[in-house]
Amino acid sequence: MRASAYPAFTTTAFLSRLAYRNEVWSGLFGELVTTFAYIAVWTAGLAAVGSVDGVTLPEMITYVLIAGPLLNWNTTRFIREVGGAVRTGDVTVFLLKPLHYPALLMSNQLGSYAFDFLAIFLPVALIVGVSFGLLPPASMGHGILFLGYWIVSWLMLFMIATCVSLLAFWILTAFALDWFLRGIMAVASGGVIPLWFMPSAIANILGYLPFAWVSYYPAAVYLGKLDLASAGLHLLIGGAWLLAMTGFVAWLWSRARHRLIVQGG
* Residues facing residue 56 across a β-bridge: 51
Per-residue exposure over 139-158, b if at least 16 CB sit within 10 Å of its own CB, e if not:
eeebeebbebbbebbbbbbb
Half-sphere exposure for 176 (CA within 13 Å, toward CB): 6
Q: What is the pLDDT of residue 88?
A: 76
Q: What is the pLDDT of residue 27?
A: 87
Q: What is the pLDDT of residue 106?
A: 93
* Residues in the chain with pLDDT values less than 50: 263-265
Q: What is the pLDDT of residue 91?
A: 78
Q: What is the pLDDT of residue 18?
A: 82
Q: Is 54 left (phi over 0), alpha (psi -120 to 50) or beta?
A: left
| pTM score | 0.91
Q: What is the pLDDT of residue 51?
A: 82
Q: What is the pLDDT of residue 1?
A: 57
Using a 10 angstrom Cβ sphere, with 0-12 exposed, 13-18 middle and 19 or more buried, the burial of residue 126 is exposed
